[in-house]
Amino acid sequence: MTASVTGGRSVRELLREATQRLQVAHAADDIDEARLQAELLYGLATGLDRAQVIAAGNDAAAPAAIEAFEALIERRVQHEPFAYILGKREFFGMTFEVGPGCLVPRPETETLVEAALEAIKAHPEARRLVRVADIGTGSGAIALSVARHAPNTTVYAVDVSTAALQWAGKNMRRFDLQDRVVLLAGDLAEPLTEPIDVLLANLPYVPTDEFEALPAQIREREPRLAVEGGPDGVELIARLAQQLDAHLASVAAAIFEVGAGQISWVEELVTRALTEAGRTGLDVRFHRDLRGIRRVLEVRMGYPKED
């Protein structure tokens, strides 16, 4: 869609103008990110990869390319999440399809997947089949990364949102994991019918007042059901804590992603619920995300002692 002719607007000029618009609209954190978004969106509009977009800098952009590109920039200026416009997001080395109705997977959630893979490896059933549940699966990011990287698992992926489950289903077929991943619609752990060895949950944890202060691209465009966790943020996690004993095998791990500063509170909620249900010998672990925040709580029960 580009031609080496003089006159008209060059690709470089278009990218410069778009970068400025994205910055003014706060669609990017800094000029480098705005420029990257502009290049990727020009690539989406024209079918070029990023290297080709950069190489085309001096070319005059074709009118059809300008129109398609400006429509994409306008969507971003109107706060549509960048990943929704591209239709995909990288997570744990895999490309997930995403769009309205599911949360865009966040990098910090990779910490939960790493903890899950360790807990699966250390489980006494690891030589046979480990039963895993992902509660609040969204795009399927956690469930499908775990299924892909731990072939000795069956993964039950639960969500209350049918829109989210449609994205999870698309991704499940994309990665050809339908033999080992089961999608279930329903509330928290309720749809689970067999004991779970490793239970994972990245449930909404943003308190209501903090939700109101989030950037428009999250507050207005991603599902509120995926982000807001009630007045204290931990409403759903607290409810799931009460269901754990009924759904966990005797040797099990439960692993939760939590908001910054919530981990001690969630530890208390989960260990109290398990202790009151008669579980003993709880082994509590914390995992930090890449920013150093204690992001993931893991509680193992009945695991053999490590050397």
Nearer to ligand SAM, 35 or 287 (CB): 287
Label the pairing between strands 94-97 and 88-91.
Answer: antiparallel
Query: Which residues, numbered 35-54, are part of the site for ligand SAM (CB under 6 A)?
Result: none
Written as six digits, the tokens of 246 are 């009924």
**What is the Cα 4 distance to its own chain's centre?**
41
Shortest Cβ 165–ligand SAM spacing (Å): 9
What residues contact 33, with CB distance under 8 A and at least 6 apart? Answer: none
Reported as type and span, the H/E element at residue 52 is helix 50-55
Determine the Cα–Cα distance for residues 205 and 116; give it in Å rounded to an integer: 19
Q: 75 by DSSP, 3-state: which?
A: helix
Q: Which stretch binds ligand SAM (CB under 6 A): 66-74, 197-205, 265-273, 279-287?
A: 197-205
The nearest distance, CB 109 to ligand SAM, in angstroms, is 4
Number of residues that bind ligand SAM (CB under 6 A): 23
Residues numbered 233 to 292 that lie near ligand SAM (CB under 6 A) are 236
What residues between 104 and 143 interact with ligand SAM by CB under 6 A? 105, 109, 135-139, 141-142
Using CB under 6 A, which of 188, 252, 258, 274 touches ligand SAM? 188
Nearest approach in angstroms of CB 272 to ligand SAM is: 21
Query: Which residue's CB is nearer to ligand SAM, number 47 or number 261?
Result: 261
Q: How many CA atoms lie within 13 A of 298 on its CB side?
A: 21
Stretch that binds ligand SAM, among 40-48, 67-75, 122-130, 157-165 (CB under 6 A): 157-165
Cα-based angle 20, 26, 31 (whole degrees, multiple of 5): 45
Handedness of CA 108, 112, 113, 118 (dihedral sign): positive
Question: Shortest gap between Cβ of 98 and ligand SAM (angstroms)?
Answer: 9
Using the rule CB under 6 A, which residue among 66, 150, 203, 258 binds ligand SAM? 203
The residues, ordered by sequence, that sit 6+ positions from 207 with a Cβ below 8 Å of its Cβ are: 228, 229, 230, 231, 232, 233, 259
> Distance from first CA to last CA of the chain, Å, rounded?
62
**Comparison of 61 and 296: residue with beta carbon closer to ligand SAM:** 296
Do the bridges between strand 88-91 and strand 153-159 make them parallel or antiparallel, or are there none, so unpaired?
unpaired
User: Site residues for ligand SAM, window 88-107 (CB under 6 A)?
Assistant: 103, 105
Binding site for ligand SAM (CB under 6 A): 103, 105, 109, 135-139, 141-142, 158-161, 164, 187-188, 202-204, 225-226, 236
